[in-house]
A and B are shown apart, each in its own frame.
Chain A
């Protein structure tokens, strides 16, 4: 019996030691989030007009042509920020250090800044392409896809939605490059590799919603139980869209204070499916 206890104790000790070693291997200087924050600090703001904003949307959606004469100054001013971000995407991990102990008051400004920088990167890729640097443009798109994925890493719904928008914008640009400029086999292969690394769904929607539910404030056991039930149902939905009615029913049966805080499951599901479709379309286009 004593031998068994000793063996169990040794196994636990080894497990703890190995987990510590793993944690020690993650050097702070390898955390891409720190590099991304550095890039955010380098961003040069530009007070664009409403009209320019609409035009920028249209370019990112692929419904308007990119005119480099309008954007090159802003892009060149922001080249250091974008290049810092691109260097960050080569780092092995990304931890934004979310303060989940703050609950719903946890700051998520990084996601907003990331949305801005990611869009700048799409324009940067256009700028490089028009300047004749097609390899550079592809490199920017590859980095942008990785950056977009990192934005959602360990975050809640908001960061995931921002990341989804960025991935779609980069995929749209990749499709545009292929259609308008034509990409070499090597360039297409490079983009395909980056897209494949995102996985089938592109993002971890279930993980994001799980974290989202965990920060929901509850005031009593009844609310906590309702929240946990919704969380489990939400995760099921993201693995099986057919369970949407079940989740909607669970939400409507929950206390109002909780039900009012639950993100619309139909919208979340639509976003997830939209991203999966866009990924598939772009994969096919680049083949």
Chain B
């Protein structure tokens, strides 16, 4: 733009009016991002601490199989909820073999009672109902 003289230039400058500045978008975005990042970092640190505590407890736990009371209390929920038998180990399998009147009785008991245990008291799978229906026929 060409400016002929000082008056015109002054006149031109007076046309400018101060305008309230808008907040800088870049800075705001950076702040908006940084907060969750800080949050996530804190959460990760907290999770790591919790995980470390849990792992240290598990690592220092004795490796012997749980006793009958402990086993019952730790497996009861899953067994009642899903009808799954407790996990079988060499030790627990041998205990079953020894406590049954015969090896055959131990195996029979596992095959036909624990594996097909009802989901919970009074609740049976569809297959269980179909099976009952077959018996009535």
Contact of B127 among A47, A106, A108, A156 (CB under 8 A): A47
A105 at the A/B interface (Cβ < 8 Å)? yes
Task: State whether B94 touches A158 (Cβ < 8 A).
Answer: yes
- Contact yes or no, A47 B93, CB < 8 A: no
User: Does A106 contact B89, Cβ atoms closer than 8 Å?
Assistant: yes
Q: Across the interface, do B107 and A165 meet the contact criterion of CB distance under 8 Å?
A: yes
With A158-B97, A165-B107 as contacts: A47 and B85 at CB distance below 8 Å? no
Q: B interface, by DSSP: helix, strand, loop or mixed?
A: helix
Q: Is the CB of A116 within 8 A of B115?
A: yes
Q: Are B131 and A74 in contact (CB under 8 A)?
A: yes
B98 within 8 A of A: yes
- Determine whether A239 belongs to the interface, using a CB cutoff of 8 Å to chain B: no
Give bound CA distance, A150 to B56, whole Å: 39
B135 within 8 A of A: yes
Q: Which of A6-14, A192-200, A259-267 contacts B (4 or more CB under 8 A)?
A: A259-267
A77 to B129, CA, bound (A): 14
Answer yes or no: A37 CB below 8 A from chain B CBs: no
In the complex, the answer to whether A156 meets B125 with C-beta atoms within 8 Å is no
Contact with B along A169-213 (1 / 0, CB 8 A): 000000000000000000000000000000000000000000010
State in angstroms the CA–CA spacing of A114 and B128 once bound together. Answer: 20
Find residues 49-89 in chain B having any chain A CB closer than 8 Å to their own CB. 63, 65, 83, 85, 87-89
Question: How many A-B pairs with Cβ below 8 Å?
Answer: 123
Instruction: Categorize the interface residue count of chain A.
Output: 35 or more
B34 at the interface (CB under 8 A from A): no
CB neighbours (8 Å) of A119 from chain B are 111
Determine if A46 and B128 form an interchain contact, defined as CB atoms under 8 angstroms apart. Answer: yes
CB-CB under 8 A from A107, the residues of chain B are 87-89
What separation, in Å, do the CA atoms of A112 and B115 have in the docked complex? 8
CB distance from A167 to the nearest CB of B (A): 12
The minimal Cβ–Cβ distance linking A49 to chain B, given in whole angstroms, is: 7
User: Within A230-257, which residues are at the interface with B (CB < 8 Å)?
Assistant: none
Complex formed: what's the CA distance from A153 to B116 in Å? Answer: 25
A220 interface residue (CB < 8 Å to B): no
Whether A115 and B107, one on each chain, are in contact in the complex, defined by CB atoms closer than 8 angstroms, is yes
Task: From known contacts A56-B112, A105-B63, infer whether A47 and B128 are also in contact, taking CB-CB under 8 Å.
Answer: yes
Indicate if B132 sits at the interface (CB-CB under 8 A).
yes
The 8 closest A-B pairs by CB, nearest first: A47-B128, A104-B91, A158-B93, A53-B112, A46-B127, A47-B124, A70-B134, A47-B118
11 extra interchain contacts, Cβ-Cβ under 8 A, other than A46-B116, A53-B112? A45-B125, A45-B127, A46-B125, A46-B128, A71-B134, A102-B89, A103-B63, A161-B97, A161-B103, A261-B94, A264-B98
